[in-house]
Structure 1
Amino acid sequence: MWRGLAVVMGFWSGCGLAICPVWSPAQAEQEIARLSAQIARWDKAYWQQGVSDVNDEVYDQLAARLKQWRHCFGDEPATDVLAPVQGTVRHPVSHTGVAKVADKAELRQWMRSRRDLWIQPKVDGVAVTLVYRQGQLVQATSRGDGLKGEDWTAKVKRIASVPSQITGPLANSVLQGELFLRRDNHIQQQMGGMNARAKVAGAMMRQDASAALDHIGIFIWAWPDGPAQMGERLQALTRAGFTLTEPWTHRVSSVEEAEKMRNRWLKSPLPFVTDGIVIRSAQEPAGNLWLPGDGSWVVAWKYAPAARVAEVRAITFTVGRTGRIAVVATLEPVQLDDKRVQRVNLGSVGRWQALDIAPGDQVQVSLAGQGIPRVDKVVWRGTNRQKPIPPESRFTPLTCFYASPECHEQFMARLAWLSSSSVLNIGGLGDAGWQVLHQAHHFEHLFSWLTLTQEQLQHTPGLSTQRGLQLWHQFNLARRQPFTRWLDALGVPLPRVAIRALGDRHWQQLQSRDLLGWQQIPGIGMGKARRLVEFVHHPTVNILTSWLNEQGVQGF
């Protein structure tokens, strides 16, 4: 798709949720000027040299962000600085562009007043007009500004998938379609956009692109002034050699059908990259009435981007259960799949410093395995970069088994860990729940909760009587968890593979192991063996294990 149109549509669909930065007029002017200059450089490379220096999705979102900033600070340019190079060849029929719907409800509203509807994949490439006269391809024009475009005739004639001669109803016709990067079994959900749009644009604008043209296909999505019946149009296109349109165009009568097809195409092997679906009515106005931005008979429902650009609001530091300092980025909220992402763990202080992230930067955020948000990279750094100084680490895997003000973060992290499903499996008890219990009962150490009575739990402020009873049952069940799970709860630094292979069933067996004995277990080398010997013999740890023995916890 034409970058300028994608940017404008993206901005207006999201500006209702955008929050203006808190900048002075001088800083706003500086930030807008820097990003505007960068986008101008990207545009020049893209439209004049056919080179893309930035990922398509990142470009679209940063360009929309620039639009937002201009709107916030009243800095609207006299002309659209994001528009592509305008060509000199007038389209016989204007390109209307495609309006976007945000969701299922908006699509339902659009479909309600229209009939004879058809669905197509929204092929991700660059738009083109093909003109046939007396069976010959005489003109191929880039979309440009929708009214005029660049002359691509010579290049398009070298693309094997575009028929140079046709017969039948299309012998004198104007066609609009998408030049796309041909793919074998492309699964959009797994493989993403692959910068396909930029690769095609580059091939069409570079002088030495003959090899790249061999990998370009054509998908015809409009035949202005063609037959009134969609079925007749599709059959004629297939007979003329445009073989993709018919198999990828289906009648649709409900939003549910459209949604089902949209999900299927997202997850199924396709011959092209897509970024959503297009629903169009077969009832179109005459071609001489088509105008840019006025295609009311066609609409697109795009896929949610796999990655989003978000502004970093703050950088904070937290102490984890092992004493390691983790860096957390607080972000401008963004929606990824079904998650609203506002906080992302950046990992260690070292990784944060390597990423070089400061408040005010724009970062690319995506979902890793199991839907965990992550920062992929910094895509734009602000001008006023003030990074906080990380705290000095006083904590280790052998600190904060006992509660104290200076140990609060690590102590609470230890509690949250031991209640997780893979450790003692105390369901529904996370950070907030432990805060309530600790505030009410003033835990002395990591396992003080084992002594809480049913009456105490049921009368805990902030907990219902029923929830207190549930916790009492769950705490009793936790006592009977296997010995290896209690080792995990205690924080013994054993890798998972070692825990699975460990034959020991009593704490004294662990204490009897020397360095060589520990190294006989899979996953444990000399370094881990030293840490294990230190851990199981540490005085504080042994006080706790003796206490667990008194409580009747198995293995201690």
Structure 2
Amino acid sequence: MRWVTKLIGLLGMLSAMASATCPAWSSVQARQEMEKLDEKLTQWDRSYYQQGVSTVSDTTYDALRAQFNEWQHCFTPGEELQQPQLSTQGKALHPIAHTGVTKLPDRAAVMQWIKGKTDLWVQPKVDGVAVTLVYRQGHLAGFLSRGDGQKGQDWSAKAKMIPAIPKTLSGPLANSVLQGELFWKRDNHVQNVMGGINARGKVAGAMMRQGDPELLNELGVFIWAWPDGPAEMSQKLDVLAQAGFPLTKSWSKPVKSVDEIASLRESWFMSPLPFVTDGIVIREAAEPPGKYWLPGSATWVIAWKFSPAQQLAEVKSIEFTVGRTGKVAVVLNLVPLQIDDKQIKRVSIGSVKRWQNLDVVSGDQVLVSLAGQGIPRMDEVVWRVSQRNKPQPPEEKTLTPLSCLYFEERCREQFIARLAWLSSPSVLNINGVSLRSWQQLQQHLHLAHIFSWLTLTQGELSQIGGISAARVAHLWQQFTQARQQPFSQWLMAFGLPLPRAVFSTLPDSQWSHLVARDELSWQKLPGIGAGRAKKLVEFVNNPQIAALATFLAQQGIQGFIDQ
């Protein structure tokens, strides 16, 4: 009864933690999407559990299985959550059932679970395939896959080919049932660097397929349960170590607080280990008799998994952004997710062409990770919804390095991007003026072109709603100081298509000198080929560029006055 009470409490806690984000689908679409994903998950289960072939990464499978369960919460809340189709066509009955392990999401949930518990131990959550080892009269009499927890496939013949599995035992283990993880042995595997390397699939494949004797030599076994064994954990570990299962003792640590648990979890995530792991397992030393073990019944043990390097995210919407040169980039707006200590709401996927090739729309599921310097990146589209509603991207033919120098409503985004560029520290260094500042200025003062801000007065700036006198003074001072920037910086502000290194060595000090250059003259500068030379001639002779140069001359800007 004590175990039943604990189970009820644990289920209540998990229910309180559940907070699925529900898609805005009709009942018809929800049924369609769930049936489609259910079919795919079942197909993967059959390949994995019946054929030993992993056709999808563990990360993708686990994420989509969790997603399907979230959809169940949303659209069929009364139904029992679907579990993996574990059937391996195995008919061998486990002497003691595999209970499975409930996974808790975070430190707070772990802290809640350990309240009132004593004699707690932490082990790595070794990433492999769960098995049962049966010893009778000192000999290995059975080796079963987990299967559905009650019945599994008899792998006894394969077990004889695995050197890491003791074939004979004596003493307390001569007649015993052990449960553990068959894993792929690794040298100095650092989880946070190397990830899961699909270890689970490799082990399953080796056991399910005929042959693979070489890989069997690379398998080890980590015993994590000895039902009806010694009551004292230390005694249990000693006996296992002496019998040929030393890893259990080496990697089982007593703990008394959530701080100790978290410290071990972090250490094992960052340190070299002899196996792949995906988290930690926390267990009480006291366990109920094995005859009461049933799938899903374990209240004395839980898992706290590592935050995966990749996480599944739902695409909320597709956004097209236009840069100062007219290039269109595609951004996926995501249902917010957390990777490490970073919340991610959006990720850029590059050009319109790449977006079209990826074929991603709202509602799709994508894998997201952090690249260098913590920048989010999309690694893969792992699930596509049936309804493919694709937004229309901007017409790229009308957006060029020479478009939107003057404001038009159709090119608002490129115009603002130009302003943000010219005010950046590496160009005119207009301090304290952000993209949002330019949006606000354009909304209230209707700048005609990219240099119209040079003529703004303090009185005009004060007309912007909600702006303080100090802010007005600061903006006006910054705009005034920008006039003193050297000629080369104003050329950058224009967007003159020169390599950055050439600006500092450009011999010309007057705009008229640039206009006088022909293509051959441009090609004499370092890094300028025929194609770029042609673009430079077109640029300086463009009518709108010429008009802006005249405007800068009227404003007394150095390098433009003598034309």
The TM-score by the shorter chain falls in which range? 0.7 to 0.9
Equivalent pair of 1:40/1:81 in contact (CA under 8 Å): no
Distance 1:115 1:75, change over 3 A: closer
- Counterparts of 2:450 and 2:91 in 1: how far apart (Å)? 75
- Counterparts of 1:62 and 1:339 in 2: how far apart (Å)? 22
- Counterparts of 1:427 and 1:118 in 2: how far apart (Å)? 56
CA positional deviation for 1:66:
3.0
Listed as ranges, the matches of 1:5-24 within 5 Å are 16-24=19-27
Q: Which residue of 1 aligns with 2:384?
A: 381
Which of 98, 106, 112 aligns to 2:115? It is: 112
Q: Which residue of 2 aligns with 1:232?
A: 235
Q: Which residue of 2 aligns with 1:132?
A: 135
Q: Which residue of 2 aligns with 1:143?
A: 146
**Larger CA deviation: 366-375 vs 535-544:** 535-544
> Could you list the runs of 5+ residues in structure 1 that have no partner in the other structure?
1-7
Listed as ranges, the matches of 1:281-296 within 5 Å are 281-296=284-299
Distance 1:484 1:272, change over 3 A: farther
Listed as ranges, the matches of 1:453-464 within 5 Å are 460-464=464-468
Equivalent pair of 2:404/2:414 in contact (CA under 8 Å): yes
Distance 1:495 1:174, change over 3 A: farther
Q: Which residue of 1 aligns with 2:49?
A: 47
CA positional deviation for 1:321:
1.4
Distance 1:274 1:543, change over 3 A: farther
Listed as ranges, the matches of 1:163-312 within 5 Å are 163-312=166-315
1:265 is aligned with what amino acid?
W
CA positional deviation for 1:194:
1.8
What SS does the corresponding residue of 1:140 show, helix, strand or coil?
Answer: strand
**Larger CA deviation: 521-530 vs 53-62:** 521-530
CA positional deviation for 1:345:
2.5
- Counterparts of 2:521 and 2:255 in 1: how far apart (Å)? 68
1:492 pairs with 2:496:
yes
CA positional deviation for 1:411:
0.8
1:432 is aligned with what amino acid?
R
Q: Could you state the TM-score of these two structures normalised by the residue count of structure 1?
A: 0.85
Distance 1:130 1:422, change over 3 A: farther
Q: Which residue of 2 aligns with 1:4?
A: none
Distance 1:33 1:119, change over 3 A: same
Q: Which residue of 1 aligns with 2:371?
A: 368
2:63 is aligned with what amino acid?
Q
What is the aligned residue count? Answer: 546
1:99 pairs with 2:73:
no
CA positional deviation for 1:285:
2.9
CA positional deviation for 1:190:
2.6
1:400 pairs with 2:404:
yes
Provide, for residues 78-104 of structure 1, a one-character-per-residue CA deviation record: whole Å limited to 9, x for no partner.
Answer: 995732106322323322222122211
> Could you list the runs of 5+ residues in structure 2 that have no partner in the other structure?
1-10
1:433 pairs with 2:442:
no
2:41 is aligned with what amino acid?
I
CA positional deviation for 1:255:
2.2
Which of 121, 124, 136 aligns to 1:121? It is: 124
Distance 1:224 1:36, change over 3 A: same
- Counterparts of 1:53 and 1:515 in 2: how far apart (Å)? 56
Distance 1:230 1:420, change over 3 A: farther
Equivalent pair of 1:20/1:68 in contact (CA under 8 Å): no
RMSD across aligned positions (CA): 3.5
- Counterparts of 2:426 and 2:267 in 1: how far apart (Å)? 34
2:437 is aligned with what amino acid?
G
CA positional deviation for 1:409:
0.9
Listed as ranges, the matches of 1:332-371 within 5 Å are 332-371=335-374
2:30 is aligned with what amino acid?
A
Rg: which structure is higher?
Answer: 2
1:350 is aligned with what amino acid?
K
CA positional deviation for 1:185:
2.7
**Larger CA deviation: 312-321 vs 189-198:** 312-321
What SS does the corresponding residue of 1:354 show, helix, strand or coil?
Answer: helix
Equivalent pair of 1:52/1:202 in contact (CA under 8 Å): yes
- Counterparts of 1:549 and 1:236 in 2: how far apart (Å)? 90
CA positional deviation for 1:270:
2.4
CA positional deviation for 1:363:
2.7
Equivalent pair of 1:139/1:151 in contact (CA under 8 Å): yes
Equivalent pair of 2:20/2:74 in contact (CA under 8 Å): no
Provide, for residues 347-403 of structure 1, a one-character-per-residue CA deviation record: whole Å limited to 9, x for no partner.
Answer: 222111211223343333333333333332322233222323333221111121222
- Counterparts of 1:475 and 1:415 in 2: how far apart (Å)? 12
What SS does the corresponding residue of 2:246 show, helix, strand or coil?
Answer: coil
Distance 1:259 1:493, change over 3 A: farther
What SS does the corresponding residue of 1:335 show, helix, strand or coil?
Answer: strand
CA positional deviation for 1:542:
5.0
What SS does the corresponding residue of 2:247 show, helix, strand or coil?
Answer: coil
Equivalent pair of 2:69/2:81 in contact (CA under 8 Å): no
What SS does the corresponding residue of 2:440 show, helix, strand or coil?
Answer: helix
Equivalent pair of 1:124/1:272 in contact (CA under 8 Å): yes
Q: Which residue of 2 aligns with 1:32?
A: 34
